Amino acid sequence: MHDRAVRTARRARWRTAAMVLALVAAVPLTVRGDDRTAPAGAGGAALPDRLGLPPFGALRATDRPALGPASVVFSGQACGLTGLIDENGTVGIVGADADRYRTWTVGFEAPAGQGVLLSPDGRFLAAPNGSPTSPGVDVIDLAGGTVRRLPSPRPGSVGTGPAGWAPDGSALVVVDTTPANPERSSYVNTLSLVRLDTGRAVRLLETTQLPVFGSPLAFAADGSTRSARRCW
């Protein structure tokens, strides 16, 4: 089954997969394949032209051997990406230099590209984690196989998730959801920039919660400025 899934994921450089995808930004990667894996393309790292579903028992993102930087993170309503009864927030991860798959399970619905974000260089995966009393974000190192937890920087938050990566991957913007009154009839959202080297957080914006699809945040190419929608 695993070999069949791998064979269905042959790569090409410019075609994108017809599933919900979160693609790495256009940053050159220098990862190369080895004798055990077929290279993604003549020049090394590339995007797949099709995706196979993760096989039953697929390795997790932190399992050995380490996956290394990824090219694609995907999710959807399909076998291998949902729980036995309900959505469990499983995403598929595809290596940048070879057709190798990993998975990561959040435990609740968290679509790739919205609730789970891949860093621009493909090395880190950011995913929500924690309970309403202890919210936070997991930063998974796909090259090292380790997980670092970033606790919520907003006192009183009942939920924290990734909102956007800095272009150089040095910082992550997180969004917190906090009750606006004791009755919890309304909420506010707070955007904070968290530096990965120090863990220091800087509040960027706080506003009334409104529904939105996709990311509420965009960085300038050089990372010097940020643009945020006033609803998410």
pLDDT in tens, 207-227: 888 666 556 677 777 766 555
Mean of all residue pLDDT scores within the chain: 77
Report whether pLDDT(39) > 60: no
pLDDT score recorded for residue 195: 95
CA dihedral 37, 38, 42, 48 (to 10 degrees): -100
pLDDT score recorded for residue 227: 56
Q: How confident is the model at residue 3 (pLDDT cuts 50, 70, 90)?
A: very low
Helix (H, G, I), strand (E, B) or coil at 23: strand
Which H or E run contains 2?
helix 2-7
Report whether pLDDT(30) > 60: no
In this prediction, residues 115-133 reach a mean pLDDT of: 93
DSSP 30-92: -----TTS--SBTTB---BSS--PPPTTPPBTTSSSP--SEEEEEE-SSTTTS-SSS---EEE
In the chain, % of residues over pLDDT 70: 71
More confident residue, 215 or 134: 134
> How far is C-alpha 158 from the chain's CA centre?
20
CA pair distance 73, 125, nearest whole angstrom: 9
In this prediction, residues 168-187 reach a mean pLDDT of: 94
What are the structure tokens assigned to 187, written together?
């909420």
Is residue 125 within 8 Å of 24, Cβ to Cβ? no
More confident residue, 58 or 155: 155
pLDDT score recorded for residue 11: 37
pLDDT score recorded for residue 55: 78
Q: Which residue, among 20, 18, 5, 10, has the nearest Cα to 74 in the 3D structure?
A: 20
pLDDT score recorded for residue 211: 67
pLDDT score recorded for residue 17: 35
Q: How confident is the model at residue 157 (pLDDT cuts 50, 70, 90)?
A: very high
pLDDT score recorded for residue 54: 82
